[in-house]
Structure formats: structure tokens, C-alpha cells
Amino acid sequence: MENFIYSVDATFPIFLVMVIGYILKQIGMLNDNFVTVANRFNFKVTLPFMLFRDISGVDIRAVFDIRYVLFCALVSTACFWIIWGGVKLFLKDQSMRGAFVQASFRSSAAVMGLAFIQNMYGSSAMGPLMIVSAVPLYNIFSVIVLTFEGAHSGEVDPKQKIKAACINIAKNPIILGILAGLIVGLLGIDFPVIVDKTVNSVAQMATPLALITIGAGFEGRKALAKIRPTIAASMIKLVVQPLIFLPVAAWMGFRGEQMIAILIMLASPTTPSCYIMAKNMDNDGVLTASVIVMTTLLAAFTLTGWIFILKTVGLIG
């Protein structure tokens, strides 16, 4: 019961902030122009600042574990390519493929992962290490699939798609924020207090503004028309991935904080930044928002179930 209450406390406030955004749009306080501008602002400013802050504050050299890093990176890679391959075979509507793949494999590791881990273990080095291992790959893979499966990708020569993907990766603000954070963390650079406070002020806007924007941009009638792919992507995100890879993690000997961080990587809700990237790269924002809403709502129950199972079998304390 305690784990269920915790999971509800962790996920339902996120869901309710999205509801506030939806209500504000319905009563006319927010409009489509706000959603467009806020998405661009989040994508280019607040999310890069947040990831830079979270990663640059970690002493990566002190907590580095090569087996753990490789596991997180390889599992993230496997999830992406397996899902994309499956989508190519089973999802006929190409306009939804990029959004479906991104929403299915990409977790809210940075937005809610650290808070979740710290609530269970207090200060934890495994959460940031998982973020360093997985989040850069999340963004690189997202750029690739959104470029190749975008609305107009069928009109583009394959060589041009590869070139466009490389350019999009190189100039992606979120990836640049992660790289800058890695450099600062590895070099152990300490900024003056005035710089730290400025970065933190901008970074703190990322999650609430992203959630408000998702709610304001949520189109209920269109989402209902895509309920089947929404349910399928949500089940892959919350159930199928952990069902396959948590036993592998246990077999490799990961326990405690490491296992919880892996659980967050595999089974936390789809990250709000998926919606921002999908909209900015001409992909299906309706499907993406629907999956974010559903996974956030269901995660209180599924994460509780996974935690109960891991505790029962003695993999977490």
C-alpha cells in the first residue's frame, strides 16, 4: 500500500498539471499560438538547460560503472531497433510510425526518474549515471526515427534522409545540452553562484511548462481515433520492456539502486519532451500526447506492481 501511495504521489501530480493545461485551453486562456511558441521555447531553451544542470552536477568519474553504463546503453538501443522493426511490419499508417516508436521506447528518466529514485534511496549516484547512459541515446534515436518517418519523409531521397538525420543530431538543442553537461561534469568545472542560479531558474521551467503545453495541445477527439496505437505503445512502454529486460538485469547481478534506475529507464511514463520533439520535427503530436497522458495515468499502477515484484524476489531493499 505504501508503494502504491508513493507511485500515485509521483505520477498523478504530473497528470493533473496536464489537465490544468487542457482546461486553460478550453476556457480560452491559452490558444494554439501559445502551444506552438511554448513548444519551441521548451525544445530550444528549457529542456537543454534542465539536462545540462542534471548531468553537469554529477561527478561522473567517481560513480562510473562500465557494466552498468553498457547495460543501460545496449538495452536502450535494443528497445529502439526492435520497436522500430516491429512498427515497420505491423503499423500501416506511416504518419504515426515515428511518434509511435519514440513514445514506446523513450522514458521520463530525467524529468521524473531522479525524483523517484531519490524518494526511495535519498541521494543516489545510479540515477544520474543511468541518465548519462540512456538519455543521449534517446535523443539521437528520436532524431533518427522522426527524420526518417516524418510527414514528408517519403518525398526525400534516402541519402538526403541520412544527411538530414546527421544535421538534426548535430544541431539538436537537447543533445547539445547533454554534451555540454557531460563536458562540464567530466572537467569538474564549478560555476559562480550567479550562473548556477540562472541555469537552475531556467531549468525549473522545463517540466511544468512542458506538461501545461501537452495538456493545452491535447485534442481529445483526434486522440480517441488513435486509441488502439495509444494503448499498444503504452503497453510496450510500461509492461513489455520491463518484462523482457528486468530478468536480464537480475541475471547480470544488478540490485538495489541500480535495479530501480533500470526500472525507471524501462517502465516510467513516456517523457514530455517526446511531444515537443514530435511537434518540432513534423510528426504526430496527437498520438504522442495521447501516449504521454495514458502512460502517466497508468504508471502509478504498473510501477507499483513492478516495485512489489522486485521487493518480493529480493532485488531491491
Tell me what pLDDT residue 50 has. 84
Burial 147-175 (b: 16+ CB within 10 A, else e): bbbbeebeeeeeeebeebbeebbeebbbb
Residue closest to 201 by CA, chosen among 64, 79, 45, 39 = 45
Confidence check: pLDDT of 5 > 80 = no
Which residue has better confidence, 210 or 102? 102
Radius of gyration over every alpha carbon of the chain, rounded to an integer in angstroms: 19
Looking at residue 74, what is its pLDDT?
Answer: 96
CA distance 272 to 20: 15
Q: How far apart are CA 285 and CA 280, in angstroms?
A: 9
CA atoms within 13 A on the CB side of 300: 18
Q: Whole-angstrom Cα distance, residue 114 to residue 131?
A: 9
Residues 74-122: tens digit of each pLDDT: 999 999 999 999 999 988 888 899 999 999 999 887 666 665 665 666 5
More confident call, 246 vs 206: 246
Say if residues 103 and 274 touch (Cβ distance below 8 Å): yes
Looking at the DSSP bridge assignments, the partners of residue 107 are: 270
How many other C-beta atoms can be found within 10 angstroms of the C-beta atom of residue 101? 30
Closest CA to 184 of 72, 42, 54: 54
Please give the backbone phi and psi of residue 107, each rounded to the nearest 5 degrees, phi first. Answer: -95, 165
Helix, strand, coil % in the chain, rounded to nearest 5? 80, 0, 15
How far, in Å, CA of 26 to CA of 20, rounded? 10
CA pair distance 280, 10, nearest whole angstrom? 28
Length of the chain: 317
CA 45 to chain CA mean position, Å: 17
- Give the mean model confidence (pLDDT) for residues 195-219: 88
CA 171 to chain CA centroid, Å, is 19
Q: Measure the CA–CA gap between 7 and 107, rounded to whole angstroms.
A: 16
pLDDT of residue 2: 67
pLDDT (tens digit per residue) in 222-244? 777 889 999 999 999 999 999 99
Task: Report residue 285 as a C-alpha cell.
Answer: 503530436
Report the alpha-carbon distance of residue 291 to residue 223 in Å, rounded.
Answer: 9
pLDDT at 169 over 90: no
pTM for the whole structure: 0.83
Give me the residue label for grid cell 503499423.
91
